[in-house]
Structure 1
Amino acid sequence: MSKHVHRRAAVHLRLERWQRYGVYATCGWLTLTGLLWIAAHFFWRVPGEFGETISPWEARAMQLHGIGAMLILFLAGGLLNMHIRRALKTDRNRTSGWGMIALLLALAFSGYGLYYLTNEVTRPAWSTVHWVIGVGFPLLLFVHVVLGRKSRQHG
C-alpha cells in the first residue's frame, strides 16, 4: 500500500508587472490628488469680496481625482479573478487583503455618497470619512505588499 502525499500546488498571487505598476501609479495619483484637494480645501482659500472663497484648485483636484477613481475601480475588477480569488484559497496575507477590500469598498461607497447621497448638511461628514480612509489607504497597500513578499519568501 502506497501513501500518497498531497502537496498543495503553489499558488501564484503576484500581479503581472503592468497590473502592479498600474495599481501603484493609480494609488499614487489618487493620494496626490486627494492631498491636493485637502490642501486646497483647508489651506488655500482665496480672499474674495465677501470673505474667503473656494480655491480654484479644489475643483481641479476633484476632477483629477475622479479620473484615478475610475481607473482604480477598473484595476480592482481585474484583480478579482487572478489575485483575490486565488488568494482566498491560501492562508497567506488574508488579514491585510481583507483590509484592502474593505477600504476600497469604503472609499468607493463614500465617493459615491459624496456625489449622490449628500447634501450641504451631510457633505462635511461624508468628505471627512472619505479623505481619512484615503489617507490611510497607501499605508495599508504598503503593508499588504510587504507582508505578501514575506509570505512568498517563506512559502
Structure 2
Amino acid sequence: MKIPLNTRLILFVTLATSWFTGFGFFLLDTFFQIEGEFGVEKHPFQNTALTLHGAAAFLMMIWFGGLVATHVPMGWRTKRLRFWGLSLITGLCLQIFTAYCLYYLANELARDVVKWVHLGIGLILPAILTGHILAGISHHKNHKNHSKKPK
C-alpha cells in the first residue's frame, strides 16, 4: 500500500529530524566537551539536540501508531514485504523501549549498554526503511509488468 506523497514527506522530515538530532546528540555527548567555568562541561548545544530529538521521537511514535493502524494491516493481508515491514516494526519498538530505559534507568552500566543499543538501531533504521521502500517499488514494477503481458 503506497503512502500518499504529502504524508511521506512529513514522515521523512520527522524521521530525518529524529535521526540527525539523535546522532548530533551522540556526537556532542561523546566527542565535544568544552572547558567551562568549573572545568570540563558538556557542549551547550547538547541539551537542545536532545530536546529536539525527544520532540521528533514523540512525533515518530504518533506516525508509527498511524502506520500500524493503516499501512501494516494492508501489507500483512497482501503478504508482501513482511521481512522489511517486521524489521521496521521491531526496530521502532526497540527504539521506543530503549528510549524509555534511557529516561528511567538509574544504573549507569545498564544505561551505557542501552545507549549503544539505541544508537545502533537508530543508525540502521534508515537503511531498513530504504530497503522496505525499494522492495515495494520493485514489487510494484514487477506487478505492473506482469499485468501488462498478453495472455
* Bin for the TM-score computed over the shorter chain: 0.7 to 0.9
Shift of 1:49: 5.4
- Alpha-carbon distance between aligned partners in 1 of 2:77 and 2:4, rounded to the nearest angstrom: 19
Q: Which one of 98, 102, 115 corresponds to residue 114 of structure 1?
A: 102
- Quote the residue 1:39 is aligned against: 27
- Quote the residue 2:132 is aligned against: 144
Q: CA RMSD in A?
A: 1.4
Task: Give the number of aligned pairs.
Answer: 143
Flag structure 2 segments of 5+ consecutive residues without an equivalent: 144-151
- Quote the residue 2:89 is aligned against: 101
Q: Quick one: higher RCO (CA 8 Å, sep 6+), 1 or 2?
A: 1
- Quote the residue 2:146 is aligned against: none
- Quote the residue 1:56 is aligned against: 44
- Quote the residue 1:6 is aligned against: none
Moved over 3 A (4+): 48-51
- Alpha-carbon distance between aligned partners in 2 of 1:112 and 1:140, rounded to the nearest angstrom: 22
Tell whether the 8 Å contact from 1:114 to 1:123 is kept in structure 2 after alignment: yes
- Alpha-carbon distance between aligned partners in 1 of 2:116 and 2:69, rounded to the nearest angstrom: 32
- Quote the residue 2:6 is aligned against: 18
Partner SS state of residue 88, structure 1: helix
* Bigger Cα Rg: 1
Partner SS state of residue 15, structure 1: coil
Tell whether the 8 Å contact from 1:22 to 1:75 is kept in structure 2 after alignment: no
Instruction: Compare the two structures and name the one with the higher helix fraction.
Output: 2
- Alpha-carbon distance between aligned partners in 1 of 2:11 and 2:50, rounded to the nearest angstrom: 19
Shift of 1:153: 1.4
Shift of 1:25: 0.8
Identity %: 30
Partner SS state of residue 123, structure 1: helix
Shift of 1:43: 1.5
Tell whether the 8 Å contact from 1:118 to 1:126 is kept in structure 2 after alignment: no
What is the TM-score when the length of structure 1 is the normalising length?
Answer: 0.86
Shift of 1:50: 5.5
Shift of 1:108: 0.4
The amino acid of 2:22's aligned partner reads G
